[in-house]
A and B are shown apart, each in its own frame.
Chain A
Amino acid sequence: MKKAKASLAVLLSTSLLFGCAQEKEGTKPADDNAKEASASKLDDVSSEYREYAIGEIEEFVDATEEFTTAVSAGDIEKAKELYAPARMHYERAEPIAEVFGDLDPKIDAREGDVKDEEWGGYHRIEMGLWEENTTKGYEKYADQLMSDVNLLRAKVETVEVTPDLLITGAVDLLNEVSTSKVTGEEDRYSHTDLYDFVANVEGAEKIYELLNPALKEKDAKLAAEIQQRFDDVYGLLEKHKEGNGYISYTDLKESEVKELSQAIDALAEPLSQIGIVTEES
């Protein structure tokens, strides 16, 4: 969960970013055509991203259904197995998922993020599964989680994705990795932080891929550098794969945590320049 940083970006209408092109129709200088073209290209990217994010949320609904069913049925082992992969869909689409400041904490709050009596969602159940090794008493949390996730699916339709959201979203995803996943604070009972880590990186990469054609036009060197750094991060994550998933956070050596953290910094720094796509060429 990202604390109360409700994405203002989404609320900004596209007309703020591309306002000048639209307002000057009467006396349009020649190169305004170029601006409009570039703006509409970014708008296309935004709608493509919207599709991607909604796709992830849909899969998140399905995966949450399976997970909560297992919890309600008292199938601890299955619930444990489903927990981390289910969350990945949410983590990939986080820039959109967390827009709903009321739902995000219900789904993804960690212990201490909200008042104890309000605490539910994935991490609450995670505590039951791994700390107490039970599902007993957690059925109500499973029910509530399912209904919150369904509500998220419904609400997500209303999100307007702007280029701003994309530009900040990519780096925000990596900031999430830097501040909670790489520190092992996200999944503190299951230690499945690497799943969330990977999903955040994948979510950021998706945005990069969508903006890449525009980015290449502006700064091909920067585009190549970002790709290289994504490859570096995936290269490191590859070492920590186990079966279909990833090793426990607790099995990472201190030096490996540092290595991952620094690789994220090395990626996020050039990625933070991605706003260059909003400049006129």
Chain B
Amino acid sequence: MKEHTPKDEIGLFTKKVSRRNMLKTAGVGGIGVVIGASGFGGLLTLSEQRAKGQTKDIVPFYGERQAGITTEAQDNLYFASLEVTTDKRSDLIQLFKDWTEAAAQMTAGNLIGEASLNTNMPPKDTGEAKELSPSNLTITFGVGPTLFSKDGTDRFGLKSKRPAELKDLPKFPLDALEDEWSGGDICIQACADDLQVAFHAVRNLVRIGRGKTIIHWAQTGFQRTKQADSQKTTPRNLFGFKDGTVNPDTNDNKEMNEHVWVKAEDGPDWLVGGSYMVVRRIQMYIEVWDRTILKEQENTFGRHRDSGAPLGMKNEFDTVDLEAKDPNGNRIIPEDSHMSLSRGDGKAKILRRPYSYADGMDPKTGSFNAGLLFICFQRNPSKQFIPIQERLAKNDKLNEYIVHRGSAMFACLPGVKKGGYIGDSLFG
């Protein structure tokens, strides 16, 4: 993606790195040595501007809404929940400005920062995404309830702006939440078709934030790659079942407006065009599942494993009839199956965008440390995720095989137009 012709290079050289600027950034010391060693060719590699008109594998960063919500799920995720350590509002605003600029560069496949020739300083960009395709990188920013107030303190003059919906989720039955996997002041969700690209994005944003924010928790996630599944069928979770069959259609604006995007009538103006993100880190008892008979596995999900079809049906997208009964009068799809309970009356929908995770072995038990980083988006958590999860937490058959270890809610900010910055509606 980053090939440029000699013509581009000359153009860029004269435009982006004028000799005057070059000397200025090169410094008194380094320059003689650098030029002597490698000539101007070496300098040119520092300007990594993409040739104009190339849009392959690029998801636009600027726009009315943030990318990474209705964007078709990329292959990989790197998710970071941050704590803000500065107590200055001006620091926070500057940080969002710097992040906006860097995120726009990185999603376009560029390196961040100006090229500096001063070898006495670390490079601005950490470099591991150089030469890589933009990989459909999206970077989505959200703010957590604790950014607005923490322990009763109005940290940044935002307390009165906190939407009523943005708060810790209620404690659900069987929750085994751990602080180290819960909450956060700000989240950065980076999704890309390449994990190195996603990691590079979060790493550089965290680096920019160093001294103002710290990582509270972070998680990588994956699903089957598009390369491995050229048909783009519904991805399977680590239990081997298709996950996300009845997701609302992200191409259907009406459905997205109804279920995902916050509207003016929903709450604070600053969040209109944004969305509430719920994150749950759900550990899967892999070994326990592996020794569960197929019939039980299928009754747990309410679907056939191979086809993904609702129990009793042939195909994945066949109409679900929860009331259907077998000749003995028993429900074909058990009432306590994951599908039955998730669906409820079918009115409340959430946009699920989960990723699996595999973090090696649990040193305590020797078992796999793996599961699902469940992520979903919605307009109104108290009418969408919360009632669904209440039903699941009480009765879901799946609870024998999973445990919720982490939980967080973030308000994903509206998108930003060029010249603005992420969060400008909140801080402005």
Contact = CB atoms under 8 A, between A and B. Distances in A.
B118 A35 contact: no
A239 to B, nearest CB: 16
Contacts of B29: 16-18, 163, 278-279
A interface, size bucket:
20 to 34
B33 A16 contact: yes
Of A39, A262, A272, the most chain B CB neighbours within 10 A belong to A262
For the complex, would chain A's binding face be called helix, strand, loop or mixed by DSSP majority? helix
Contacts of B211: 225, 229, 266-267, 269-270
A161 interface: no
B210 A279 contact: no
A267 to B, nearest CB: 8
Interface in A257-281: 262, 265-267, 269-270, 272-273, 275-276, 278-280
A265 B206 CA distance: 11
A157 B211 CA distance: 38
A279 B27 contact: yes
Contacts of A167: 120
Interface in B206-225: 207, 210-211, 214
Contacts of A164: 120
A137 interface: no
B28 A20 contact: yes
Contacts of A273: 121-122
Contacts of A20: 28, 31-32
Interface string B12-40: 00000000000111111111110000000
Contacts of A229: 211
Contacts, number: 60
A7 interface: no
Interface in A155-181: 163-164, 167
Nearest to B208: A269
A269 B210 contact: yes
Interface in B103-158: 118-122
Most chain B C-beta atoms within 10 Å of own C-beta, residue among A19, A167, A225, A267: A19
Interface string B184-213: 000000000000000000000001001100
A273 B121 CA distance: 5
A164 B119 CA distance: 10
Contact of B214 (A21, A262, A278, A279): A262
Interface in A1-54: 16-21, 35, 38-39
A182 to B, nearest CB: 14
B81 to A, nearest CB: 14
B31 A278 contact: no
Contact of A279 (B25, B33, B122): B25
B31 A275 contact: no
Interface residues of B, number: 21
A269 B118 contact: no
Contacts of A21: 28
Nearest to A259: B214
Contacts of B26: 279
A18 B118 contact: no
B245 interface: no
Contacts of A278: 27-30, 118, 120
Nearest to B25: A279
Nearest to A167: B120
A262 B206 CA distance: 12
A19 B30 CA distance: 9
Contacts of A225: 211
A232 B207 CA distance: 18
B247 interface: no
B307 interface: no
Interface in A222-272: 225, 229, 262, 265-267, 269-270, 272
A132 to B, nearest CB: 31
Contacts of A267: 211
Contacts of A265: 210
Nearest to B206: A265
Interface of B: 23-33, 85, 118-122, 207, 210-211, 214
Interface of A: 16-21, 35, 38-39, 163-164, 167, 225, 229, 262, 265-267, 269-270, 272-273, 275-276, 278-280
25 contacts: A16-B29, A18-B28, A19-B32, A21-B28, A35-B28, A38-B28, A163-B29, A164-B120, A167-B120, A229-B211, A262-B85, A266-B214, A269-B211, A272-B121, A272-B122, A275-B121, A276-B27, A276-B118, A276-B121, A278-B28, A278-B118, A279-B28, A279-B29, A280-B24, A280-B27
Given A269-B207, A272-B121, 16 more contacts: A18-B29, A38-B28, A163-B29, A167-B120, A266-B85, A266-B210, A266-B214, A272-B122, A273-B122, A275-B118, A275-B119, A276-B118, A276-B120, A279-B27, A279-B29, A280-B24
Query: Closest 4 CB pairs between A and B?
Result: A275-B120, A279-B27, A266-B211, A20-B32
